[in-house]
Structure 1
Amino acid sequence: MTMTAPHPIPLHTARAPAYLWRKPVLAAAVVAVLAGGAWFALQRAPAPATPVPATKVAEQPPVLELGSADVAAISARSLALSLPLSGSLAPLSSATIKSKVSGVVQTTTVQEGMAVAAGQVLARIDQADLRARLQQQQAQLDEAQARLSMATKNEGNSGALLAQKYISQNAYDATQNSVELARAAVKSAQAMVEIARIALEDGVIRAPIAGVVSKRHVQAGEKLAPDMPVFSIVNLAELTLEAQVPASEIPRVRVGQDVRFRVDGYQQREFTGKVARINPSTEAGSRALLVYIAVRNDDAALRAGMFAKGAIVTDRADVAPVVPLAALRDDHGRQVVYRIADGKVVAQPVTLGLRNDDEGTAQVVAGLQDGARVIVSKLPALKPGAQVSLPAEAAPTAAAATTAASQPKKG
């Protein structure tokens, strides 16, 4: 028996097993999913930033931020130089009233602290003795006038007798001499009467000046003697501030200069005066001279003996911009300030006038205007041309400036 071999089946007609065709299908599906995800990711990803050339970054300078203490606003005012002083206040006019006659004080009409007018009655002395003395002197005057009248009659009779040769010339001369003596006696008696009358008037004590009673030395019932003090009066309408000034500073002081000062008890009030006199010699034990300053005291706020502390205005400039000394810089021998203009630092040359080292300011004659802003801090990185930003309170916004300009002005 002959065995015949089977014929081979063609590949394109034979059916492949299931596991052979499933693998390529799965691989294709995975590739499709991955490709779709990559396309979606590329669509959502941001475009890469375009790199900035290094040359453009280097061209933008840094902006320095300034603080409020670094900048000062320039204002125009009158700058003055002053010389400090201190001293005590004394009344320009005062009086200590003394008794001119002796007697017992009958009444007193004023007390300490009371204001009095010139000529006002302050006290009365018992005038009984003074009136009796006046009457006595008046009687002596009457007697002297009677003697003069008798002597005058005798002179007339003697003249008639001399004409008839009944008496000698010597007798007539004696009669005439008696008349002269009687006339002299009358004049003396009249003077004594006037003295007694003045003494009677002095028994009424009056104020010689207007002012305030500062001391009452006697009471009613006390016995007064001549030249004994009765009252003390001070006039507070005008006071004198007596201050010592070093001799080295006297050339700066002139009559008529303004003085400003304060006293204890009036810390919030400033008083004024003017230099009235300068003592020509120094005080004993010191190298200082007394300067007398006239002070008006119309409201009687000041009192004699108060201690005052202030300054003499020795020089004063006209109204001009004033710059802090801290803002001044030396630029090759010239004075400049760093002014802020349009956010940049500008080296602005200035011409200075009066300088006040005590206040730390100087007057600007030329170079700055009122309202300009200058830098007062010495910042090493700050140079002319640098860009700066001002603090909010030093640099108002343009919107605020526009709003302020658009508001109607009050007429």
Structure 2
Amino acid sequence: MVFGKFPLVILMVALWLIGTPVMVLANEDSVPVSVTRPYLAELGETLKLSGSVNALQRASLSTRADGLIDELRVDVGSHVKQGDPLLQLDAALITLEYQRARAATAEQRAALDEAQRLLDDALRLRENNHVSANEVNTRRANLNLAQASLEAAIADQRSVAEMVERHVLPAPFDGVIAARHVDRGEWVSRGDPVFELVSLDRVRLDVRMPQERFSEISDKTPVNICPDSNPVKCFSGTVAALVPVSDSSTRTFLVRIRPEGNSGQLLPGTSASAIFELGDGRSQDMLLPRDALLRHPDGSYSVFVAKEGVARRQLVEVGREARDNVVITGGLATTDDVVVRGNEVLRDGQTLRVVESPNP
């Protein structure tokens, strides 16, 4: 009876010895991985960029006539209003010219009055045939000539009066004198810079937007401005201009921001930061950990999806990054189990052993 049991025991031992390596090999072929699932979230991201404050109105002023500087009425740092006189040229000669033009106008006006009187006399005498019709026509022509001469004299007087006014340089807009390039007694010609005037009321903040973020900005994007001189004092702004021409050296686009309300703290030439609030607060993006992505030599991306215990490579389309995650714009669903750990050595069709369950 004892010897009869030996064949059965030997058979069981043999089966155990044969089966054990098979199970070990099966366990060795499966790759332990961690998986996760893409999820939807609202990205309330902020983008902070530094820029420069520029004045909308900044002018290099020159005189409107050639001449000798007789008086400087402002200096560097002077605050001026539109129309305030900044500089006076020597106007002695042009003043005499104006007086001569006035006298010529008065002379022509008197000649016109005399021509009118002579025509009136001729018309009265013509009623009794004391003068010929030709005489009347001659006096009427003289009246027209006198009228034309008066109009020419008035035009000359206005021209000289304009030249007199051009010996004074007025401020074209409100602002502050940023630079003075001349002094009293110097001769200046039209086109020579004499002052630099900068407006303080109308300023803009110019920032350079990276090309990969430019498409996310519109004129409705909320933005706050924080002067670097006082970073805790921030105020709202509006995107005033998007310049769709890239700087080829930096691959950036110009975005111009208009401050709202009191912008007295923003001075031309200073620096400030613009903080953009990205995302509309209504749409949701599909997010996936960056470690799940595998980059290909051609620049495309793929992931491994665990399907029934097997790795399946799947091409995906990616958007921008959000901290440790990447926005997935195509190729995945929120129900896909994506390998996030252990994907570096995976092959398509390889057996998986999930050691971490998907996120809820």
- TM-score, normalised relative to structure 1: 0.53
Are 2:51 and 2:207, in contact at CA under 8 Å, matched by a contact in 1? Answer: yes
Pair 1:232 & 2:193 matched? no
**Does the CA-based 8 Å contact 1:259-1:272 persist in structure 2?**
yes
SS, match of residue 237 in structure 1: coil
Question: 1:97 and 2:61 equivalent?
Answer: yes
With over 3 angstroms needed to count, the CA separation of the structure-2 counterparts of 1:234 and 1:106, relative to structure 1, is: same
Q: Distance in 2 between matches of 1:382 and 1:81?
A: 29
Counting only pairs closer than 5 Å after superposition, residues 180-329 of structure 1 correspond to structure 2 as: 180-246=144-210, 249-260=213-224, 270=234, 272-279=236-243, 281-282=245-246, 288-295=252-259, 298=262, 300-315=264-279, 317=281
Q: Distance in 2 between matches of 1:250 and 1:301?
A: 27
**Distance between the aligned counterparts of 2:140 and 2:197, measured in 1?**
55
- Read off the aligned partner of 1:218 and give its amino acid letter: V
SS in 2 for 1:173: helix
Which segment drifts farther, 288-297 or 259-268?
A: 259-268
Tell me the alpha carbon deviations over residues 224-247 of structure 1, each in whole angstroms, 9 at most, x when there is no partner. 223433222111223112334355
Identify the structure with bigger relative contact order (alpha carbons < 8 Å, sequence gap 6+): 2
Match of 2:89 among 121, 125, 146: 125
Q: Provide the secondary structure at the position in 2 that maps to 1:100.
A: coil
Distance 2:161 2:181 in 1: 26
The answer to whether the 8 Å contact 1:105/1:124 transfers is yes
Aligned to 2:103: 139
Which structure 1 residue ranges, 5 or more long, are not aligned?
A: 1-77, 319-324, 327-331, 334-354, 363-377, 384-411
- Matched-pair contact (CA < 8 Å) for 1:239–1:296: no
Once superposed, what is the RMSD of the aligned Cα atoms?
A: 4.3
CA contact (8 A) 2:222 2:276 kept: yes
Percent identity of the aligned residues?
24
Per the TM alignment, residue 161 of structure 1 is displaced from its structure 2 partner at its CA by 3.5
- Count, aligned residues: 269
Instruction: State the alpha-carbon separation in 2 of the partners of residues 285 and 192 from structure 1.
Output: 56
Structure 2 gap ranges (5+): 1-41, 283-288, 291-304, 307-318, 327-340, 342-354
Please state how far the C-alpha of 1:123 moved relative to its aligned partner. 1.9
Give the secondary-structure state (helix, strand or coil) at the position aligned to 2:268.
coil
Q: 1:257 to 1:151 in 2, by over 3 A?
A: same
Name the SS of the counterpart of 1:257 in structure 2: coil
Q: CA deviation at 1:103?
A: 2.1
Contact 2:55 2:198 in 1 (8 A): yes
Change (3 A) 1:281 1:167: farther
SS of equivalent residue, structure 1 residue 151? helix
Mapping for residues 148-167 of structure 1, pairs under 5 Å:
148-167=112-131
Query: Could you say which residue in structure 2 is the equivalent of 1:351?
Result: none
TM-score by length of 2: 0.60
Rate the CA distance shift 1:266–1:178 in 2: closer, same or farther, 3 A.
same
Residue in 1 aligned with 2:347?
none
Letter in 1 for 2:166: D
Structure 1 residues 382 and 359 mapped into 2: Cα distance closer, same or farther (>3 Å)? closer
